[in-house]
Amino acid sequence: MSDFDEERMDIIGQNGNDGAIYDEVCRPKHYRLFPDMQAIDVIMATLSPAEFEGYLKGNILKYRLRAGNKGDAQKDIAKANWYSNKLNEVSSEAR
């Protein structure tokens, strides 16, 4: 979990009936596949490092470009920031 994720988790606390922590930006409940696995984990495992970085960049652009056009602009910006932090995290690990 990145520092950004941990900071948001500290703010929202546990909110699932199963004791899991969910957040609309960092850990949406609808992306939880198993107790310890989110959809992003499967995507990361399936793609090459370069492909995964491209996926992250595409999501950064998507959420920034649509901010305010589909729901709450702040949530879209927060999602773009989450993907940006994830890109920085995986880029750092690759070095």
pLDDT tens track for 75-89: 899 999 999 999 999
pLDDT classification of 38: cutoffs 50, 70, 90:
confident
Query: What is the sign, positive or negative, of the torsion defined by CA atoms of 18, 19, 22, 26?
Result: negative
Angle, to 10 degrees, between the axis of helix 39-46 and the axis of helix 49-66? 140
pTM: 0.68
Q: Which domain holds residue 38?
A: 3-94
Q: How many domains does the chain have?
A: 1
- The string of pLDDT tens digits covering residues 41-82 is 889 999 999 999 999 999 999 999 999 998 889 989 999 999
